[in-house]
Amino acid sequence: MQKLAIQGGNPLHGEIFISGAKNAALPIMCASLLSADSLRLSNVPDLHDVATMRKLLQQMGVVVDVQGDCMNMQGGNVTKLEAPYDMVKTMRASVLVLGPLVARFGEAMVSLPGGCAIGSRPVDLHIKGLQAMGAEISIEHGYIHAKAKRLKGARIFFDIVSVTGTENLMMAAVLAEGVTVLENAAREPEVVDLANCLIEMGADIAGAGTDMITITGVDRLHGAEYSILPDRIESGTFLVAAAATGGNITLRNTSANILDNVLEKLQEAGAKIQTEADTIHLEMRQRPNAVNLRTAPYPAFPTDMQAQFMALNTIAQGSAMMVETIFENRFMHVQELRRLGAQIDVEGNTAVVRGVASLEGAMVMATDLRASASLVIAGLVAQGETVIDRIYHLDRGYAHIETKLTALGANIRRLK
Ligand code: UD1
């Protein structure tokens, strides 16, 4: 199993390019199932999760051609309407094939995701939504089996805001008969990016980015060209790493507009930030101030940035209270950060972090994607060497992370 070895202490300096957003690329790739014509994507990130989604779609019959960060996908010969357990268990976002398959082919077999490191993460809202649109759904041998002659538009209210739930039902509704209204829909920029791509393919969607999305079904979608939006979580992760190490960095090919809340918190921590259209510059000249935060659906503070800010708070001046409201059990990085000397108490969904003057390098283990990112940040500030085991989690969501960090002056290497 691969590991990362980091010699801490180097402030990050310099400039890097941000990749396309993982959480936009995955649903948009699934949109290729909705049409027989070519979907030509650009700014596709080079990630393990993207490769897994590509394999899954290829198994179904989608023809995929990758050249650099461009991916051409053609869904003219889809024959296998199934997402098998061995794929869904490694990547929960595989469930995003469910909506498009039922919408275009009238049938789908998708494995239930099962347990997941950051909580139980059910898919009941995806299933209920499809049922409201007229799909017959049974659970057989751990698989969701969905059938429908043609889905019908419906009014669907989400009890809990769900990102992939909103995306799955939006993709189902674009080919349904009549109008679908999604209420209490997710407003994440990645939902808007998917909607924009579907609109390019001929879908009729209004209200994406608000909590009420109205989709009027059409008979067919056509091909399109689409560029994936920049990854706001990758951007945020590098900014926190620079702030924690007292660095000075510039991110290119990003977007400050979708990072409002994260940039505000970094400023509260003492960072100086300047933004232009697709550029963010951050400079940190002081020991960070501790920042309180509470995760919630967009536009509030993202759960996918909680672990990285915890790493920042471990070496901050003062104490911070951090509340996780989206996922149960998303504090697994706490015990690893403690191994580096962090002082953190957890009670239910609240963590109290008391800043210490410095961390000390140690052996730690990555437990999930964003937890891994927090360990990398902690390793960059810790004195001496930190070795992070199980970094396959990191490769799922960060493109070429050690190359980008090395370009910023970090002392980091991969041990095979
Ligand atoms: C997506 C993101 C993930 C991010 C999360 C929250 C992708 C591929 N992944 O995950 O990076 O951390 O949004 O911003 O985009 N829930 C139910 N029933 C359902 C669906 C969800 O109870 O049917 C609950 C979940 O357990 C969780 C909450 O709703 O407590 C939000 O989850 P959701 O937004 O669905 O997360 P994902 O879409 O899986």
pLDDT at 118: 53
| DSSP 8-class letter at 20 | B
DSSP states of 172-212: HHTTSBSEEEEES----HHHHHHHHHHHHTT-EEE-BTBSE
- The H-or-E segment that residue 136 falls in is strand 136-140
pLDDT at 406: 97
221 Cα to the center of ligand 1, angstroms: 27
Ligand 1 nearest-atom number relative to CA 188: 14
CB 112 within 8 A of CB 139: yes
377 Cα to the center of ligand 1, angstroms: 25
Ligand 1 nearest-atom number relative to CA 124: 23
How many CA within 13 A on the CB side of residue 394? 23
Q: Give the torsion sign (CA, 397, 400, 405, 408).
A: negative
Top mutation candidate among 124, 162, 328 for ligand 1, by most atoms within 8 Å of CB: 162
Top mutation candidate among 121, 130, 157 for ligand 1, by most atoms within 8 Å of CB: 121
pLDDT at 384: 97
- Here the tokens at position 148 are 């429908």
Cα gap 125→115, rounded to integer Å: 16
Q: Which of 242, 260, 121 is nearest to 188 (CA)?
A: 260
Query: What is the chain's Cα-based Rg?
Result: 21
DSSP states of 235-283: HHHHHHHHHHTT-EEEEES--GGGGHHHHHHHHHTT-EEEEETTEEEEE
Q: Which residues are catalytic?
A: 116
Ligand 1 atom 7: residue of nearest CA: 23
Cα gap 30→52, rounded to integer Å: 12
Ligand 1 nearest-atom number relative to CA 125: 23
pLDDT digit string (tens) for the chain, length 416 residues? 899 999 999 999 999 999 999 999 999 999 999 999 999 999 999 999 999 999 999 999 999 999 999 999 999 999 999 999 999 988 999 999 999 999 999 999 999 886 555 556 789 999 999 999 999 999 989 899 999 999 999 999 999 999 999 999 999 999 999 999 999 999 999 999 999 999 999 999 999 999 999 999 999 999 999 999 999 999 999 999 999 999 999 999 999 999 999 999 999 999 999 999 899 999 999 999 999 999 999 999 999 999 999 999 999 999 999 999 999 889 999 999 999 999 999 999 999 999 999 999 999 999 889 999 999 999 999 999 999 999 988 999 999 999 999 999 999 999 98
Residues with CB under 6 A from ligand 1: 23, 26, 92-93, 119, 121-126, 160, 162-165, 190, 303-304, 326-327
Q: Is 83 helix (H, G, I), strand (E, B) or coil?
A: strand
Top mutation candidate among 160, 161, 330, 396 for ligand 1, by most atoms within 8 Å of CB: 160
234 Cα to the center of ligand 1, angstroms: 18
155 Cα to the center of ligand 1, angstroms: 21
Tell me how far the alpha carbon of residue 8 is from its chain's centroid: 27
Strand-pairing partners, residue 162, are none
Cis peptide before 84 (omega within 30 of 0): no
- Here the tokens at position 324 are 């996780």
Ligand 1 atom 20: residue of nearest CA: 123
For residue 222, give Cα distances in angstroms to 64, 73, 150, 329. 17, 12, 18, 42
54 Cα to the center of ligand 1, angstroms: 21
Cα gap 40→109, rounded to integer Å: 26
Q: Is 159 helix (H, G, I), strand (E, B) or coil?
A: coil
pLDDT at 113: 83
pLDDT at 131: 97
